[in-house]
């Protein structure tokens, strides 16, 4: 195959720069909300940009962004090692209006830490 | 030193003006020398604060633009210890277009710094937008009180208001403290309303006032009498809740001082 660019690195560098720019402009609070809505992941310990790629979605160019998300998953086991279930923690999906309100209260409390 | 409390929220219709007016009147009824400053160009607080005069020679605008001192602008309300700085009702509020030059945010603070007058409390009512008037109100204040109705959309906007306040506090290095979140329009019969109160107490703890302002038709309709409800009907549930709020604020302050 004939090469038409000066350097092999040009496309890779441009792609890296593009995703660095996208990464710098990502609203992580919104990503956290999306994680809660789509994947049921709440109160994550860490949310980091992992990598990105250019893909075709429905015939259009799209930017696929992957995140590393860390969150606790508690399991209850008895003395014999049998699984009893999951603890009722904030890592569960906000399924009821009360959960949603509680989520908002927690977010407001986090925001109020600046006072 | 008196305490200046800014009543603020990015959302309209949350009970800011009713809170500013009734809290100011409740503090004054307790014998505290109180000044109500109407920073909202709509002038709603002015119109329901029970001032004897309804037309004003000077308004807040004159004070901010350096055209008149505090004592020439203050209007006596129907409560002995309550004075009001009126908003320029029905006139273009030039002060709303205050310069955004550095230091312009201090214009209200400088205006209120009048050594010949002492107030135990200054209550500032603000517009719903976070423009220059609200910024100057925050810069003039020691604490902020955020009224929040117990309904979902308003409660959701609380986080945004909190984030904006923290950003403003940091950007302008204001020594601003949170007086508290005041839950308003509380309906004990409504599951959602009860859930918000419960959740706010659990998650926000001491950041939420103990006092709740109930959903009350009488409170909602009180502006028609152009006087604070605590004056119009002191035994009503709405008036009693604002008297309780005033007592809570005075109690916190005396505990902090001791």
pTM of the model: 0.74
Angle between helix A97-111 and helix B191-204 axes, rounded to 10 deg? 40
Q: What is the pLDDT of residue B96?
A: 52
Return the structure tokens found at A45: 């310990």
Q: What is the pLDDT of residue A30?
A: 82
Tell me the Ramachandran region of residue A6: left when phi exceeds 0, alpha when psi lies from -120 to 50, beta otherwise.
alpha
> B30 CB contacts (<8 Å, ≥6 apart)?
B246, B247, B250
Domain ranges across chain B: 3-257
Task: Please name the residue of chain B whose CA is at the shortest distance from the CA of residue A114.
Answer: B166
**What's B3-257's CATH class?**
alpha beta
What is the C-alpha to C-alpha distance for residues B36 and B20, in angstroms, rounded to an integer? 7
**Position B100 pLDDT exceeds 90:** no
The reply to whether residue A104 touches residue B156, judged by beta carbons under 8 angstroms, is yes
Return the structure tokens found at B136: 């100057």
What is the C-alpha to C-alpha distance for residues B60 and B125, in angstroms, rounded to an integer? 12
What residues pair up with B178 in beta bridges, in sequence order?
B144
| Dihedral angle sign, alpha carbons of residues B221, B23, B127, B195 | negative
- Which of A73-87, B17-31, B50-64 is least confident? A73-87
Position with higher pLDDT, A70 vs B108: B108
Position with higher pLDDT, B113 vs B103: B113
**Chain B interface with A: residues with Cβ < 8 Å:** 152, 155-156, 158-159, 162-163, 165-166, 169-170, 176-178, 181, 192, 195-196, 199-200, 202-205, 207
Return the structure tokens found at A114: 């600046």
Residue from B192, B196, B201 to probe the interface with A (highest A Cβ count within 10 Å): B196
């Amino acid at each position: 195959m004939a090469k038409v660019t000066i350097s092999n690195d040009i496309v890779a560098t441009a792609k890296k720069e593009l995703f660095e720019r996208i990464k710098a402009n990502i609203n992580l609070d919104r990503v956290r909300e999306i994680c809660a809505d789509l994947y049921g992941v709440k109160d994550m310990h860490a949310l980091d940009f992992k990598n990105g790629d250019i893909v075709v979605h429905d015939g259009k160019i799209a930017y696929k962004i992957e995140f590393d998300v860390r969150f606790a998953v508690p399991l209850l086991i008895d003395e014999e090692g049998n699984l009893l279930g999951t603890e009722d923690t904030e890592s569960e999906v906000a399924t009821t209006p009360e959960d949603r309100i509680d989520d908002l209260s927690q977010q407001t409390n986090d925001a109020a830490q600046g006072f | 030193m008196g305490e200046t409390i800014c009543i603020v929220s990015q959302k309209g219709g949350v009970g800011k003006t009713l809170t500013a007016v009734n809290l100011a009147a409740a503090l004054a009824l307790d014998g505290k020398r109180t000044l109500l400053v109407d920073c909202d160009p709509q002038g709603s607080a002015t119109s329901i604060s029970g001032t004897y005069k309804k037309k004003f020679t000077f308004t807040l605008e004159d004070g901010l633009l350096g055209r008149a001192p505090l004592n020439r602008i203050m209007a006596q309300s129907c409560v002995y210890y309550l004075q009001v700085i009126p908003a320029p009702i029905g006139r273009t509020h030039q002060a709303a277009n205050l310069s955004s030059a550095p230091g312009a945010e201090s214009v209200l603070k400088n205006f209120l710094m009048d050594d010949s007058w002492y107030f135990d409390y200054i209550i500032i009512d603000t517009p719903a937008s976070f423009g220059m008037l609200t910024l100057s109100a925050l810069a003039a204040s020691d604490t902020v009180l955020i009224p929040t109705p117990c309904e979902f959309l308003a409660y959701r906007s609380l986080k945004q208001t909190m984030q904006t306040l923290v950003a403003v506090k940091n950007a302008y290095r204001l020594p601003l403290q949170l007086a508290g979140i005041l839950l308003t329009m509380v309906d004990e019969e409504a599951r959602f309303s009860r859930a918000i109160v419960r959740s706010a107490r659990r998650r926000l703890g001491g950041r939420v006032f103990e006092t709740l302002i109930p959903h009350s038709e009488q409170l909602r309709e009180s502006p028609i009498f152009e006087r604070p409800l605590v004056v119009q009907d002191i035994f009503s549930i709405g008036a009693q809740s604002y008297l309780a709020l005033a007592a809570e604020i005075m109690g916190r302050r005396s505990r902090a001082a001791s």
